Amino acid sequence: MLSLIEVSPHLTIDTLLSVENLRVSFTGSSNLFRQRDTIQAVAGISFKVSRGSTLGLVGESGCGKSTTGYALLRLIDATGRVCFDGTDLLTLKTREMRTIRRRIQVIFQDASSSLDPRMTIGDLITEALDIHKLYVGEERKGRVRELLDMVGMSPRYAERYPHELSGGQAQRIAICRALAVEPELIICDEAVSALDVSIQAQILNLLQELQKSLQLTYIFISHDLSVIRHISNEIAVMYLGKIVEYGSRDELFNNPIHPYTRALLSSIPNADPIVGPSREKVLLRGDIPNPANLPSGCGFRTRCPLAVSECSLQPPEKLEVAPHHYVSCIRAPIIT
Give the span between the Cα atoms of 159 and 224, in whole angstroms: 34
CA 30 distance to own-chain centroid: 27
- d(CA 76, CA 67) in angstroms, rounded, equals 8
For range 183-190, the mean pLDDT: 95
Tell me the C-alpha distance between 155 and 134, whole Å: 19
Q: Which of 1-10, 111-120, 186-195, 218-227 has the lowest mean pLDDT?
A: 1-10
In the prediction, which pLDDT does 29 show?
A: 57
Chain segment 126-153, per-residue pLDDT in tens: 998 888 888 888 888 899 999 999 999 9
Collect all residues with Cβ–Cβ distance below 8 Å to 245 and sequence separation of at least 6: 236, 237, 252, 256, 257, 258, 260, 261, 326, 327, 328
Q: What is the pLDDT of residues 202-242, one digit of tens each?
A: 999 999 999 999 999 999 999 988 899 999 999 999 999 99
- 252 pLDDT band, cuts 50/70/90, is very high
| pLDDT at residue 279 in the model | 58
Give tens-digit pLDDT for 84-107: 999 999 999 988 998 898 999 999
Domains in the chain, please, with CATH?
A: 15-103+183-257 (3.40.50.300)
pLDDT for the residue numbered 136:
81
Q: Averaged over 51-74, what is the pLDDT?
A: 94
Average of per-residue pLDDT values in the chain: 87
pTM: 0.88
